[in-house]
Amino acid sequence: MAEPKTTRKPIGTFHGVTADVVYHQALGTPTDTLAITLPRKQPVLSTRHGYIETDVICNCHVPRGLWDFMHDESHSWQDTYGQIMKDVLSELGRTIEDIAFMSTGVNQEKVAWHEEIYDEFWVICFTTAGVKTNAMRVGVDKASGIERNGKFEKIGTINNIVLTNAILEPPALASSFITITEAKNVALQELDIRSAYAPNLMATGTGTDQITIVSGTEYKYTYVGGHTKLGEMMARTVTSSTIQAIRNSRGF
């Protein structure tokens, strides 16, 4: 009998949402991917994909040994990540076009999560964070990379995956990015994370931060700013999970 190509470490089940770290090979290199599986296809807004509907969200660890392959301009990004996550996609019974995914140089063992519950509403955020090499103060620090024809370089990143049971109308999905980004900035301030380029300046993020927000199936919401209860819950989950993710990646 052939050896299984993947092994799983369960993180937990949250309101029907399952989260696992999947260990697999990518072009012969050991790596790991956070796989979040929803009970059904749901609306998702992602900084990589825009608006899609899916039932699987992944956060893929790309170790240093795969960086040259990632930056090979003969591949499209779909082909690149399709190869890196080939074994995971096979296990899930999906193609790269079927899922929403992020990528990071951080091992998924360092993922952090935080949940907030208030009456009938819940919000949970899963975060990985690498801030050592390219934390920056956006608009102040000079850009160190440029995108041409969809090709760009990844270094460190903060990835936030936010899920809720509330039905987020399109304006709420869009406005959630403001709330999530502001909450991430609170985490960076609380940990006094400085720009890697100008250490006298507070960092506002990294140059490659990513967000995925997943709409739920109950209780319609049209706005999730800081004055709303759902916005407060969303911010608390993002700040708490981002603080812990940075601590996990830095070993304190």
| Tally of domains in the chain | 1
Question: Which domain does 183 fall in, by range?
Answer: 7-143+154-250
Predicted TM-score (pTM) of this structure: 0.91
| Residue 99 near residue 38 (C-beta atoms within 8 A) | no
> Could you read off the pLDDT of 109-118 as tens digits, one per residue?
999 999 999 9
d(Cα 126, Cα 103) in Å, to the nearest integer?
13
% the chain with pLDDT above 90: 73
Instruction: Tell me how crowded residue 131 is: count the other CB atoms within 10 A of its CB.
Output: 27
Instruction: Please report, for the domain that includes residue 46, its CATH number.
Output: 3.60.70
Instruction: Tell me how crowded residue 54 is: count the other CB atoms within 10 A of its CB.
Output: 21
Question: Is position 1 within any domain?
Answer: no
Q: What is the mean pLDDT of residues 20-39?
A: 96
Instruction: Tell me how crowded residue 32 is: count the other CB atoms within 10 A of its CB.
Output: 23
Q: Token digits for 116?
A: 């907030």
DSSP state of 6: -
For the purposes of burial, counting CB atoms within 10 Å of the CB of 115, is it exposed (0-12), middle (13-18) or buried (19 or more)? middle
Structure confidence at residue 59 as a pLDDT band (50, 70, 90): very high
Angle between the N-to-C axes of helices 229-250 and 170-190, in degrees from 0 to 180, rounded to the nearest 10: 40
> Could you read off the pLDDT of 127-173 as tens digits, one per residue?
999 887 677 676 665 555 444 444 444 456 899 999 999 999 999 99
Q: Is 17 helix (H, G, I), strand (E, B) or coil?
A: strand
| Residue 209 near residue 246 (C-beta atoms within 8 A) | no
Question: Is position 215 within any domain?
Answer: yes
Beta bridge partners of 23: 7, 32
pLDDT the model gives residue 146: 40
Question: Is position 149 within any domain?
Answer: no
Question: Is position 2 within any domain?
Answer: no
